[in-house]
């Protein structure tokens, strides 16, 4: 799931202007600009929605960093049915770079019914891809798979697996 262009919530963009520090310098020990609970997230590429989701809690820092807990993001593909859903215990990103790192029981679901689980995944919004280097387990309608690394191109929902890859084909009629 791409990380750079995806995690720019509208709520935070609106609050960023209202909560910017009064001086050019900020204290590293300063509290976050905004702490939100029960947050709905939306990101746009110009006028086009890039992703949406929700988080139990989100913290926006004055430097543009955003941290969300128990978060779920929906990234649209080429058609409305091609939505990729990413959920994790923790998602950390930056509004300026539009990159995101998800960690803690990360689950990636594609519109085709594939579910990938990994400890950590990185999303690049500019490339619209999700990648992981810490192993992945995949359950799909007719197979299961384990691999060392993966890359998912969100626009075409194409997974690439590398390293040690183990696949088990299953019958659709079991």
pLDDT in tens, 85-136: 999 999 999 876 778 999 999 999 988 889 999 999 999 988 889 999 999 9
pTM of the model: 0.75
Which residue has tokens 């600009």? Answer: 33
For residues 28-48, one letter each, b for 16 or more C-beta atoms within 10 angstroms of the residue's C-beta and e for the rest, the string is: eeeeebbebeebebebeeeee
- The pLDDT confidence band at residue 172, using thresholds 50, 70 and 90, is low
CB 132 within 8 A of CB 138: no
Closest by alpha carbon to 63, among 99, 19, 9, 2?
Answer: 19
> Does the domain made of 10-20+31-169 have the CATH classification 2.60.450.10?
yes
Q: Rounded CA gap, 92 and 163, in Å?
A: 27
Kindly report the CA angle at 10 between 122 and 107, in degrees rounded to 5? 30
For the chain, give every domain's residue range: 10-20+31-169
Cβ-proximal residues to 29 (8 Å cutoff; 6+ apart), any chain:
none
Q: Is the pLDDT of residue 170 over 70?
A: yes
Q: Calculate the dihedral angle through the C-alpha atoms of 99, 104, 108, 109, rounding to the nearest 10 degrees.
A: -140
Among 57-61, 74-78, 125-129, top mean pLDDT goes to 57-61
What percent of the chain has pLDDT above 70? 79
How confident is the model at residue 28, as a pLDDT? 58
Residue 35, CA distances (Å) to 45, 58, 62, 63 in order = 25, 6, 11, 14
Which tokens go with 45? 């590429």
Q: What is the DSSP letter of 125?
A: T
pLDDT at 6 over 50: no
Section 136-156 average pLDDT: 91
Q: Quickly state the pLDDT bin for 11 (edges 50, 70, 90).
A: very low
Total number of residues shown for the chain: 174
Of residues 26 and 70, more confidence is placed in: 70
């Amino acid at each position: 799931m791409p990380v750079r262009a995806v995690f720019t919530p509208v709520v935070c963009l609106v609050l960023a202007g209202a909560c910017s520090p009064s001086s050019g310098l900020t204290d590293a020990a300063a509290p976050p600009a905004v702490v939100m609970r029960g947050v709905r997230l939306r990101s746009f590429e110009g006028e086009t929605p890039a992703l949406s989701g929700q988080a139990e809690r989100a913290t926006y820092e004055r430097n543009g960093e955003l941290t969300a807990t128990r978060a779920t993001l929906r990234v649209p593909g080429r058609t409305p049915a091609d939505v990729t859903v990413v959920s994790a215990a923790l998602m950390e990103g930056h509004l300026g770079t539009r990159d995101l790192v998800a960690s803690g029981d990360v689950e990636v679901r594609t519109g085709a019914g594939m579910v990938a689980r990994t400890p950590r995944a990185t999303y690049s919004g500019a490339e619209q891809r999700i990648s992981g280097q810490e192993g992945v387990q995949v359950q799909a309608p007719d197979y299961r798979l384990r691999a060392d690394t993966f890359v998912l191109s969100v626009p075409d929902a194409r997974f690439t697996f590398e390293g040690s890859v183990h696949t088990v084909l299953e019958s659709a009629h079991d």
